[in-house]
A and B are shown apart, each in its own frame.
Chain A
Amino acid sequence: MSIGGEPGRLFPQVTERSGYRYFFYQKHHGWGGTEAAQWATDVGEEEEFGIFNQADLFDLTDHQGSLYGIRLRLDPERRVLVLGTLGQQVAKFPEARTAPHWHGFPLGPLQKNLDTPHPPERPLPRDALQKMVDARLLTNPERKRLLKGKII
């Protein structure tokens, strides 16, 4: 299947809260160039959709409506796992409320300035991060570490 000329796969379920559909672009799953962030190979489709579903469930949005998620493991001990091939621990799902589906990719911890005409790539915004703390997905020290661009 392809959407907009880009190959990928639509996940068969929709999110619990908003009924969003989710599309796995191949470019973020080992088939993209160096400019496309890649999901870690040990994140399966079920788990990737689960991260998106959790982001929607807790409404982890920034002021522009994009969603953000983390890969939280609770057993045998609580840890926030790496979800991208470059050690990223946050996923961004760009705002797509009026589009037929959403998609997501690992988001780096630092602001990157890209060549024009691209805008800078910004790390997890403060408003979405605070919602993760309010939802008790993250602790306050973890919030501060993400604000510092550090691993949690």
Chain B
Amino acid sequence: MSLPLGPYRSFNIPGEEITWAGECPWNDRYCFGTESGKVVFLVGSDAGQPELATESVSNEAVNDVAFWKNLVGITTRSEVQVYRGPLSEAGLSLVGGLPSGAHGIVATPRGRLLAPMGIEGLFCFDGAQASQSQGWIDRPAQGVRNYYKVVYLGESDGNEILACATRTDGLARIELDATNTSRAVSLTAPSVDLIDVCPLRSEEWPFAVAGLSLDRSLVFVRDILGLSEENPRRLRFDGLRGTPYSLLYAVGHILLLTSAEIVIFPDLASRFLAGEALDHPVDAYHSPVQAVEAFIASESYLMVVTDEGVRVSEILPVGLTGDGRVSTGGNVKLPDWTDTQEILRSLPTEWASLVA
């Protein structure tokens, strides 16, 4: 198997430190969050220097941005803000939010903007009723849940289904019905400290997710709707180095960012979803990098935020290799990768279910 990744192209913003990178659906171009609390939109790059549109939204570093129609939710460690766009000379207009921090934000197709606020709860803003609502905080009726990362999976029986990494409170499935009433089911286990979760985007398994624990183990769930019936599989790759930061999925692959490297496991998600045995060596590509965070754009572009800027590479399906596929002219660079084989170790785990 060959490296399923093309060379990378670098982006940076003079005078700014990038802390978040993604895509703006308003113009289908990249946009960036900065340490100084700005969101910078790429508005033109046809010839010469790209043109930038900058919105100053905070004094804190932007940690996430999510769009729904003409709304954009922006989070920092000190606030959640919802603005109305689109981009214009008048700038964005603030429509809601609260002066408490969140770890990130996600938008659902029905227009909910959801921001995990740790043990404070899950901030919810109904974009479809933006003019009447300032948002609310969803919490379990009893006890606490440490909301850290939320992803949208799909719709089932009229409910929006989300998965949430809730640190030592485990993996949670959250269902939001049409009246914005939520119901959650969690699976917890000793030594699991879940810090990321990503959808595996399969037509056959639309509610499949993978999670990443601070102990460098991975958790795989084929159908989160059956969370209390089918225990997740928990696997460890002993070859990983560094503190786990981000878990990503693209075109059948699993990508993992740590404090020391980025690792690609080609086709691992596809093989798990196909029911293949994973107890034999699998390919892994390691590239040393000290990065801040990594994101997926357009389902097939890897964006790695480093001190030097953002590296953007195309992720290729198995069978289309990245070696020499893209010209290395301009600012396109070949990354430094090491090909290894990893043994997956299955970790026996006693899961406990909680409903709230």
Contacts and interface: CB of A to CB of B under 8 A. Distances in A.
A144 B245 CA distance: 13
B77 A145 contact: no
A87 B19 contact: no
Contacts of B172: none
Interface string A112-151: 1100000010110000000000000001111011011111
A112 B292 CA distance: 24
Interface residues of A, number: 28
Interface residues of B, number: 41
A10 interface: no
A109 interface: yes
Interface centre among A80, A108, A148 (most CB of B within 10 A): A148
Nearest to B143: A34
A147 B99 contact: no
Contacts of A142: 259
- DSSP majority for the B interface? loop
Contact of A112 (B35, B100, B245, B293): B100
Given A110-B77, A110-B101, A141-B259, A151 B245 contact: yes
Given A87-B167, A111-B79, A151-B243, A145 B100 contact: no
- DSSP majority for the A interface? loop
Contacts of A82: 193, 214
Nearest to B289: A141
A152 B259 contact: yes
17 contacts: A86-B146, A86-B167, A87-B148, A87-B168, A109-B118, A110-B77, A110-B100, A110-B102, A111-B78, A111-B79, A112-B100, A122-B78, A147-B60, A149-B76, A149-B102, A150-B103, A152-B259
Interface of B: 17, 19-20, 35, 60-63, 76-79, 98-103, 117-120, 144, 146, 148, 167-168, 193, 195, 214, 241-243, 245, 259, 290-293, 306-307
The 10 closest A-B CB pairs, nearest first, are A110-B101, A149-B77, A148-B63, A111-B78, A147-B61, A111-B101, A144-B292, A141-B292, A87-B167, A113-B100
